[in-house]
């Protein structure tokens, strides 16, 4: 597995990480605990050294599961988790405070079974969030050794700059894929300028870019695709040109559409590290194998031009996900 650094932080990770949320909720029926643990450990065997979870996943249970899975190789990986700025069950209402954040971290450390977190994110940044204050609190935690670095999820460029000026950010984790490119305008260029890593969640657009979900697909129960508009039947049909493009590139490169999607992302910038979810062994091999797919300059430029010409129908919003009633913002 190829390695990358998260910006100028010096934090080295595998070029592709693992998003662990799906082992607990968000995409329908989950694997048995033993299988989830086996798959996370198999990912490590295949070279993955970057594992991502959050207190809101479950809530709480995904941190416990991930901590149990990575325990045998804890010190050999970068373990990331996130605190929600909003109170979760059993938490104080003043969550976004120095004491609230410290308590959230202490609880996460206990659930993860570790003495420190490598990368600690604020999981969403409200417009009125005092990011400078949060940055100060994170600086304290870094100096105390409770965390090695910190980040923000879905911030604006202005919030990135304000926070980074107080305590340098290690990484930004936001949605990014061929179907959601809004952060190319400002946040990703700011990360490049400031030396901050960029960690895309949902890099395969909830699995859409794998090409495995057609207009007849059905989503039930705790599956966010029930409410994400890009999975509406009419949008699946309207987005077919994107899948056709991916399949053409996949045939030419002897790869899969998912691998082309991830390889494109890796080719964009060397500080971008996607964290797809992988709940079956064949997906592990496929997604982690994308790090070996190479594009020439001509192939990449042609793909960029083709993508720019394809309109995208539907999106993924926290507001839509909230309508599901079982999953908070991811």
> Where in the sequence numbering do the catalytic residues fall?
57
Sort strands 3-5 and 12-14 into parallel, antiparallel or unpaired.
antiparallel
For residue 275, cis peptide bond before it (omega within 30 degrees of 0): no
Task: Kindly tell me the number of DSSP H helices and DSSP E strands found in the chain.
Answer: 12, 9
Q: What angle do CA 257, 279, 49 make, to 5 degrees?
A: 90
Six-digit token string for 246: 């991916």
Six-digit token string for 107: 């609880």
Dihedral of CA atoms 275, 30, 25, 62 in degrees, nearest 10, equals -70
Q: How far is Cα of residue 205 from the mean position of the Cα atoms in its chain?
A: 11
**Where would I find the H helices in 49-90?**
61-70
- Residue 255 gets which letter from DSSP? S
CA dist 117 and 78 (Å) reads: 8
Sort strands 147-153 and 3-5 into parallel, antiparallel or unpaired.
unpaired
């Amino acid at each position: 597995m190829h390695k990358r650094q998260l910006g100028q932080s010096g934090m080295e990770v595998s070029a592709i990480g693992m998003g662990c949320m799906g082992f607990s909720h968000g995409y329908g029926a989950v694997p048995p605990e033993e299988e989830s643990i086996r798959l996370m450990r198999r990912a490590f065997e295949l070279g993955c050294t970057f594992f991502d979870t959050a207190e809101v996943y479950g809530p709480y249970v995904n941190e416990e599961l991930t901590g149990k899975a990575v325990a045998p190789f804890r010190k050999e990986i970068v373990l990331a988790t996130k605190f929600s700025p909003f109170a979760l069950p059993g938490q104080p209402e003043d969550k976004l405070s120095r004491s609230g954040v410290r308590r959230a971290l202490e609880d996460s450390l206990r659930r993860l079974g570790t003495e420190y977190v490598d990368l600690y994110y604020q999981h969403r940044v409200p417009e009125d969030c005092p990011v400078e204050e949060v940055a100060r609190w994170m600086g304290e935690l870094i100096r105390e050794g409770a965390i090695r670095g910190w980040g923000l999820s879905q911030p604006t460029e202005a919030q990135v700059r304000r926070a980074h000026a107080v305590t340098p950010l290690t990484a930004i984790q936001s949605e990014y894929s061929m179907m959601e490119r809004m952060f190319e305008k400002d946040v990703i260029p700011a990360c490049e300028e400031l030396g901050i890593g960029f960690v895309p969640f949902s890099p395969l657009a909830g699995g859409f870019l794998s090409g495995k979900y057609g207009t007849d697909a059905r989503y039930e129960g705790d599956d966010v695709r029930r409410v994400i508009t890009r999975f509406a039947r009419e949008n699946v049909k309207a987005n077919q040109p994107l899948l056709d493009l991916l399949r053409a590139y996949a045939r030419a490169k002897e790869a899969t559409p998912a691998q082309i999607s991830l390889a494109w992302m890796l080719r964009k910038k060397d500080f971008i590290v996607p964290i797809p979810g992988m709940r079956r062994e064949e997906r592990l091999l496929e997604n982690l194998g994308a790090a070996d797919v190479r594009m020439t300059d001509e192939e990449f430029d042609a793909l960029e031009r083709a993508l720019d010409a394809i309109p995208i129908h539907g999106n993924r919003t926290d507001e839509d996900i909230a309508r599901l009633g079982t999953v908070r913002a991811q």
